[in-house]
Structure 1
């Protein structure tokens, strides 16, 4: 059985209770990265653990979680990895194979980029990491993927490697067949999904895959 986790980070918060409560039902554990604990409160979700140096949590929030018996995993303020990175290390060690990260967008752009590179970090360990919100999903793709239920949404593909080869897109407004895309190219940005089942295939290389709800465009 595949172990799945939801991580709430301290970025921009889209407080969509239905979305995150449904996502919580699909995972085995919920962990907050420091200030992500405030996000969990807004969503009405109870985390299993809170990781971090607690510099982004108000004392009243911390006290509330302590009374609930939530486990705190503390780290020093001066460290070589972000709180979200440390959580991912923990989940990899515990055998989790799929990780959803909410609250990963907005806020500081350097933190967003840090969250983005964690997709590739997880991929190297065989862990599928997705940055998610009610309107945006970002993941790493190597190989093939069928996208279902996103007709009308925006799709973008940005190479992680210097070049991705053999890129084929079917079920999109702008199709590609066995294309070559360099990292510096914007060829595959801002496409539209026009089918209930869209197919993406990459023969060689890895790319960031974005799905953006039509309501965001």
Structure 2
């Protein structure tokens, strides 16, 4: 059985593990940004705001640097791409990032997919220069707030089950364990735990076994 290794080394400021380094893309949604956002930003090779996520970035990123000039911080943390139906981004924020050189991709004609879906599709199909062989998509602002939005974001993990996608907040880190694989989760106890939940969604898990948990299955 093929083994998939899961490692959240992006939670640390430097890579300390010995396995092959991963590449990262960061997607910012329109909910509270976790405290790790600046370090995730610096690690990512591609940074995308999903529609109103640009408002969130514009308003919150200076708060991580209270002793620095907010205008300079906003210039430093400029998204590569803003994508979505653009019904939530404020006109002033859109103009600001457009003038800063961010690529604006208006998909207001697509009413069938969420802004996160649009961003993941863009990364999968329209970024030939991005190494996807070991790519991890980190999504911030995906957990908390409206429950229907949370469920929609979790559904993205299933829609794109062939991609490594992590939903991240200050409290939780969530990713999919695709069936028919053996999964090895490498835990850094300095930043992860002590809790771990394995949740079958949509139906029972027929043949799951674990090792290394306090109460193994």
| Structure 1 unaligned blocks of 5 or more | 180-217
Query: Hey, what does 1:13 align to over in structure 2?
Result: 32
Query: Hey, what does 1:118 align to over in structure 2?
Result: 156
Query: Hey, what does 2:69 align to over in structure 1?
Result: none
Q: What is the rounded CA distance, in whole Å, between the counterparts of 2:23 and 2:34 in structure 1?
A: 25
CA RMSD of aligned residues (A): 2.1
Which consecutive aligned stretches of 4+ in structure 1 deviate over 4 angstroms post-superposition?
Answer: none
Q: What is the rounded CA distance, in whole Å, between the counterparts of 1:88 and 1:152 in structure 2?
A: 28
Matched, 1:102 2:140: yes
Determine which structure has the larger strand proportion and give its number.
1
CA-to-aligned-CA distance 1:9-56 (integer Å, 9 cap, x gap): 11x30452xx11111122211000000001222214210000012211
| Structure 2 unaligned blocks of 5 or more | 1-20, 62-73
Inter-CA distance 54–121: structure 2 relative to 1 (3 Å threshold): same
Query: Hey, what does 1:135 align to over in structure 2?
Result: 171
SS of the counterpart of 1:39?
helix
Query: Hey, what does 2:44 align to over in structure 1?
Result: 27
Offset at residue 111 of structure 1 (A): 1.4
Q: What is the rounded CA distance, in whole Å, between the counterparts of 2:110 and 2:26 in structure 1?
A: 25
Matched, 1:154 2:195: yes
CA-to-aligned-CA distance 1:184-205 (integer Å, 9 cap, x gap): xxxxxxxxxxxxxxxxxxxxxx
Offset at residue 151 of structure 1 (A): 5.9
Query: Hey, what does 2:68 align to over in structure 1?
Result: none
Offset at residue 171 of structure 1 (A): 4.3
Superposed counterparts of 1:162-173, under 5 Å: 162-172=204-214
TM-score (norm 1): 0.71
Contact 2:34 2:141 in 1 (8 A): no
